[in-house]
Chains A and B, each alone.
Chain A
Amino acid sequence: MHYLLFHPIDRHAAASPDRTAFRCGKQAITYAELAERTNRLAHLLLAQGVQRGDRIGIYLPRSLDGAAAVHGILKAGAAYVPLDPEAPVARTRRLIDDCGIKVVFVAPALRRNFTALFAAPSPVNRVVGGDVEGVISLEWDALADYPATAPDLRILGDDLAYVMYTSGSTGEPKGIMHTHTSGLAYARLSRDLYNVQPDDVIGNHCALHYDISTFGYFTGPLAGATTVIVTDAHTKFPTSLLQLVEQERITIWYSVPLALLQMLRSPTLGERDLSALRWVLFGGEVFAPRHLRALMEHAPNARASNVYGPAEVNQCTYFHLAEAPDTDDPLPLGHVWNDTETLILDPDDGEVAEGEIGELLVRSATRMKGYWNRADLTARGFYYRERIPGNRETFYRTGDLVYRDADGLLQFMGRKDRQVKIRGHRVELEEVEAVLAAQPGVGEAAVYLREIGDNEKVIEALVVAESDWVGNPRTWIIAMGDQLPPHAVPVRIDLLPNLPRNDAGKIDRLAIREAITKSMP
């Protein structure tokens, strides 16, 4: 019986040992090899004193080592915390501190960051896969010294499986906690929805710190399919990426819309044979119908699916298209999937009338446990309903505004708060504002989103400098680059004598929006 995220790997290792579980670049690993490697890895971690519920960092490029680390950590009863190698070191240090990470998987290719990342004081006392000064360093070769059989541990579905960090409006990133049960519920529902089969080849474009990756790392193994981990290099060169989709005969693709858009722009699109594709999944952001149309022309056998769901609940709705859309109307969020209930509430938590706009709340087996070490944020993120005395039901407040149309489809109408999506990443503008306001010389700051043409969005800011400040706003941009991921750093900061305010004395964001729209280049 499957109740833990790694169970499918062990089952396929027994039933079809030679089938490929993951491929990345020129490397591949079969289910039998992966089962054995992750068993040894779990023993190695346990020998280091790792205990159930410990959080273990994964600081690796997209790689087979990453796949082994994920499942090896889980087999040791611990939870993995993906750390973005492209994020500023100072931010990654904050995550390590916040989550109390003692062991981190590293790759020699990232060694230039090691000193700054692990310098004392740091909770990290061991790394696996590289050599870090002052920290006990274990090599992958050491795995040979550990047993190939599964460790005998009592791990429950309710145990913590992974923590993924996302932008937090308080100025600090927050860690989304998922259990084996919630992760596996997602894997089951997505396998069934897309009818993933053992002969499917899944194209996994997203890095581990992005929740979309759970499709490739968990749904793929559940179905006994092969997941192709797109290398970091391929993500930067759309022409090579297209070549990979063709060569690997990828049957199910899942990424943020940007990756699809980049491939669409490659002049080699017409030369590529994409006939193996049977599903193109995209999520994290809206995808313009005209681009989807262009894409579907080149993938004759593919159906498309608009995937919606905050990382807190993995996925909760879908909208399938068998044919290219014939209008430019935005794609609906669509249908609520199985084992999931939704509510649409007004600001007073009352249900809106049929067809009215309100906030979407989601109750599902795929829901997170809460935010790591932030009971306050967790309480604010949840809504409880008690229809049967003593049986409390928990809903996640998505912050997304929606309405149900006449066909019963959910339609997206924007955000309740100031969260924005940039290249598929969630950014709370308040977090950027808090980081900017903390820079020396900044009196007041207002951060806003500017759309620059086709699907491209950037962050810009207005600042009222302190009266004695002399300098160039560029220095703030550079300093913010050390604290925020690249997509969240303002590309431009303009100085103003004061910020527009409304009658209540609050920053008038509407006036800012009007002013910047007028100044559109």
Chain B
Amino acid sequence: MEERILTFIKRELIDDDRIDLTADDDLLGSGLIGSMAVFRLIDFLEKSFSVRIPPEEMTIDHFMTVRAMSDYVRERQAVQKV
């Protein structure tokens, strides 16, 4: 999941395949992801991993890094299965 998200960010949001980006890099404090990109990212996560992300859970803690996003998406997947 981390790899897929990283690839999406590099190709679709930053438009730079060669950029050095890891799952633990701060995405929000580095100007990498602008406000508009956040919406595209959320849309990508919802469609690609079949989860619904409610607005009240769109928080910094869940989106600061690719790892945080993956952990959160897995959590949502588990909740939705129940």
Contacts and interface: CB of A to CB of B under 8 A. Distances in A.
B29 A109 contact: yes
Contacts of A268: 56
A233 B61 CA distance: 10
Contacts of A237: 38, 58-60, 63
Q: For the complex, would chain A's binding face be called helix, strand, loop or mixed by DSSP majority?
A: helix
Nearest to B38: A236
Interface in A224-260: 231-240, 243
B59 A239 contact: yes
Contact of A232 (B28, B55, B57, B59): B28
A61 B29 contact: yes
A109 B34 contact: no
A385 interface: no
A231 B36 CA distance: 17
A500 interface: no
B23 interface: no
Contacts, number: 59
Interface string A88-125: 00000000000000000000011010000000000000
Dominant secondary structure at the B interface: loop
A86 interface: yes
Interface in B26-59: 26, 28-36, 38, 54-59
Given A112-B19, A233-B64, A486-B36, A266 B56 contact: yes
Contacts of B64: 233
Contact of A486 (B29, B34, B54, B58): B34
B35 to A, nearest CB: 5
Contacts of B60: 233-234, 236-237, 240
Interface of A: 61, 85-86, 109-110, 112, 231-240, 243, 265-268, 486
Interface of B: 16, 19-20, 26, 28-36, 38, 54-61, 63-64
Given A231-B28, A237-B58, 9 more contacts: A61-B31, A86-B34, A109-B26, A232-B31, A233-B29, A236-B28, A240-B59, A267-B54, A267-B56
